């Protein structure tokens, strides 16, 4: 039970600032009188009555009045009454000592040096010393008595308030962990069980979820913390939809697997997972397919430091191949994924081999393949950013097409059993160089499959992955943190989305089903309008979208216009005849391609044009090779535009 003396601190601290200053002023006035009384006792050896008729009593009245008249103005000027309950330690004592020293000098001059009838001269020295001790002690006692309560009030008043959604064991653990948190103050629980509504759990009320909007306003809630890690995705999405309307930030706990240690801490709270924003239920992986091409085998991943490549490496490492070869042309990216995997695989028998290499170097690819003879190759190396490849088309095609060709030929020559290309929905009826180059890379593998029968070539085509480098989700999240605006190229832009871990798992499983030349298409669910995703992210951050209907909103959305080669809508199939597979999220497409005998010569001619950066010829050849390729813009290659500019300037200067 709390000490009654300490319970008195709250009403005192609740007083207005002026009242608290007057209270402390009165205490110091009393201390001036008490210390003078004690000074007389120490000098005379007996207590005197200040209200008496003796000579000493008359002198004491004048000495007391003088002490108050000198001390209080000095204390006021010295700042002793500005923030008394926040003072602690040496700074406070030095302030008191300085003020009392000035007071003592003046007081001693009057009653010791000059002298006053009825006041012993030693009182002019003893009283300031006693006053220093008692004033200092009063500050120390005030800090001990009121300081902790004052700090507690400050913390409670400044901490944002939160409701915990879920009054189960996880919610209770989270509330307990947040008891002394300086970050968030728990204001109560919200739970779906109507039997709990109106009850109190660990001192916190349990509310009805239907009242969230009202609670946010009345209790001044800043955050809703989802403490239901085992919740189904469908119910989770329903809750998020409900909370969005309350305009409050949402944070969540990881899954039960991540909380397997049995304790929940404040540090476990995090921003919503990307798949929470996606709103789709991931399909459990088929472990037979996951292990078929990996377990105990030599596996090679190109582009191992990229978004998809690095996640493939993480997923592969879990399945325990005998060797995992990491090919990456970026030294930093290779170092990063190597360090991460080595830490995670410290107790694994898998040998990790980081290799600096470019897939555009056929000799280096043959050297690597002939040294380790991998069983399975996952080819994730690619330039994938649409505007960058549009402005650098020759570099993009060299990497995406010729790099795929060199890696595939090296694989076939060295007995690779399975070769899986990571492709994209932008390869379907492409309007940009990146998409066209990926479709041509698919065609290379389709053409090689019938003549390189010892190696099963296949490709896996899917849409955007959330959270990858350049993805809209991390970009939007940062723009929201910066206070906006969110930049969007077009209000009607629609994309298919999938999380990186889900995409990587499905790539591995699709590759395990390949028979040669297969084009696998992942079921991406329903397409998402990018503007809807942006609005959802704003609302789940506890903010509002600023637009014509809501001019006082927090985050505006600016439309910047479509970038070169960008499409409004993406497709996954060229034809309309997908076939089902044994996996519910993987389909097989039938796509037309050019036989290797004809394609080989065309690729050689294309390579010549790439080497001299003849953008016009490159563009024309890509249109001839890739069915449905319809460039939507003029040539925007930076080198071509600069050379055109220079030629124009020379022509003008010549005239």
Q: Which residues are catalytic?
A: 426
What CA–CA distance (Å, rounded) separates 284 from 304? 24
Task: Give dist(CA 540, CA 244) in Å, integer.
Answer: 6
Q: Which pair of structure tokens corresponds to residue 588?
A: 């097989």
Q: Indicate if the alpha-carbon torsion angle 289, 295, 299, 302 is positive or negative.
A: positive
> Can you tell me whether residue 406 is helix, strand or coil?
helix
For the record, the structure tokens of 78 come out as: 């010295």
Q: Which residues contact 402 (CB under 8 A, 6 or more apart)?
A: 360, 603, 607, 610
CA distance 192 to 229: 14
Among the listed residues 29, 20, 131, the one whose alpha carbon sits nearest the alpha carbon of residue 81 = 20
Three-class HEC string of 565-622: CCCCCCCCCCCCCCEECCCCCEEEECCCCCCHHHHHHHHHHHHHHHHCCCHHHHHHHH
Instruction: Confirm if 228 and 165 have CB atoms less than 8 A apart.
Output: yes
Burial of 160 (C-beta count, 10 Å sphere; 0-12/13-18/19+)? middle
Tell me the C-alpha distance between 129 and 36, whole Å: 10
Give how far Cα 325 sits from Cα of 171, 289, 339, 346, 402, Å: 43, 21, 14, 16, 21
The Cα–Cα gap between 72 and 164 comes to: 51
Are 465 and 537 in contact by the 8 Å Cβ rule? The answer is no
Q: Quick check: 488 and 559 in contact, CB under 8 A?
A: yes
CA gap 323, 348 in Å, rounded: 11
* Peptide bond between residue 207 and the one before it cis (omega within 30 degrees of 0): no
Give how far the C-alpha of residue 478 lies from the chain's centroid of Cα atoms, to the nearest Å. 9
Which 3-state string (H, E, C) describes 489-538?
A: CCCCCEECEEEHHHHHHHHHHHHCCCCCCEEEEECCCCCEEHHHHHHHHH
The number of angstroms, rounded, from the C-alpha of 442 to the middle of its chain's C-alpha atoms is: 35
The DSSP code sequence of 251-281 is EE---TTTTTTS---GGG-EEPPHHHHHT--
Tokens read off for 142: 């005030």
């Amino acid at each position: 039970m709390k000490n009654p003396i300490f319970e008195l601190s709250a009403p005192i601290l609740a007083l207005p600032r002026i009242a608290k200053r007057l209270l402390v002023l009165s205490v110091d006035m009393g201390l001036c009188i008490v210390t003078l009384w004690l000074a007389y006792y120490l000098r005379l050896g007996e207590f005197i009555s200040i209200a008496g008729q003796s000579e000493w009593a008359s002198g004491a009245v004048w000495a007391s009045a003088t002490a108050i008249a000198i001390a209080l103005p000095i204390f006021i000027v010295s700042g002793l009454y500005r923030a008394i309950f926040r003072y602690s330690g040496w700074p406070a004592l030095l302030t008191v000592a300085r003020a009392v020293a000035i007071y003592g000098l003046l007081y001693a001059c009057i009653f010791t040096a000059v002298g006053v009838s009825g006041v012993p001269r030693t009182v002019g020295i003893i009283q300031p010393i006693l006053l220093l001790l008692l004033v200092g002690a009063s500050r120390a006692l005030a800090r001990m008595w009121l300081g902790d309560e004052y700090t507690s009030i400050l913390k409670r008043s400044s901490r944002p308030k939160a409701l915990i959604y879920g009054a189960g064991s996880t919610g209770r653990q989270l509330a307990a962990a947040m008891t002394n948190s300086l970050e968030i103050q728990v204001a109560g629980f919200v739970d779906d069980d109507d039997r709990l509504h109106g009850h109190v759990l660990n001192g916190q009320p349990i509310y009805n979820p239907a009242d969230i909007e009202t609670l946010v306003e009345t209790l001044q809630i800043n955050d809703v913390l989802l403490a239901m890690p085992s919740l189904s995705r469908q119910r989770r999405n329903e809750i998020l939809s409900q909370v969005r309307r309350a305009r409050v930030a949402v944070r969540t706990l990881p899954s039960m697997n991540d909380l397997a240690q049995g304790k929940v801490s404040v540090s476990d709270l995090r921003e919503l997972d990307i798949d929470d924003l996606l709103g789709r239920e991931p399909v459990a992986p088929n472990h037979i397919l996951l292990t078929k091409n990996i377990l105990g085998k030599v596996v090679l991943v190109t582009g191992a430091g990229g978004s998809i490549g690095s996640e493939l490496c993480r997923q592969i490492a879990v399945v325990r191949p005998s060797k995992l070869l990491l090919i990456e042309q970026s030294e930093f990216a290779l170092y990063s994924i190597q360090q991460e995997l080595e830490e995670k695989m410290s107790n694994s028998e898998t040998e990790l081999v980081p290799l600096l290499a470019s897939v555009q170097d056929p000799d280096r690819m043959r050297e690597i393949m002939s040294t380790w003879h991998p069983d399975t190759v996952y080819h994730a190396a690619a330039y994938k950013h649409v505007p960058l490849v549009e402005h650098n088309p020759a570099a993009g095609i060299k990497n995406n097409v010729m790099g795929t060709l060199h890696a595939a030929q090296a694989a076939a020559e060295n007995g690779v059993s399975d070769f899986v290309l990571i492709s994209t929905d932008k390869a379907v009826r492409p309007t940009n160089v990146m998409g066209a180059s990926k479709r041509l890379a698919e065609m290379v593998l389709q053409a090689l499959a019938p003549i390189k029968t010892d190696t099963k070539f296949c490709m896996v085509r899917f849409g955007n992955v959330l959270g990858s480098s350049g993805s809209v989700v991390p970009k939007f999240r940062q723009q929201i943190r910066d206070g906006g605006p969110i930049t969007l190229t077009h209000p009607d832009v629609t994309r298919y989305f999938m999380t990186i871990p889900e995409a990587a798992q499905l790539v591995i499983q699709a590759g395990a089903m390949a028979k040669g030349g297969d084009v696998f298409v992942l079921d991406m669910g329903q397409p998402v309008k990018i503007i809807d995703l942006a609005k959802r992210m704003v609302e789940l951050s506890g903010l509002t979208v600023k637009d014509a209907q809501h001019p006082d909103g927090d985050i505006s959305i600016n439309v910047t216009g479509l970038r070169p080669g960008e499409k409004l809508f993406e497709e996954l199939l060229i034809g309309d005849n997908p076939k089902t597979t044994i996996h519910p999220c993987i389909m097989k497409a039938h796509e037309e391609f050019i036989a290797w005998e004809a394609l080989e010569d065309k690729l050689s001619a294309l390579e010549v044009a790439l080497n001299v950066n003849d953008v016009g010829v490159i563009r024309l050849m890509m249109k001839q090779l890739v069915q449905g390729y319809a460039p939507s813009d003029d040539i925007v290659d930076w080198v071509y535009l600069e050379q055109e500019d220079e030629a124009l300037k020379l022509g003008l200067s010549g005239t």
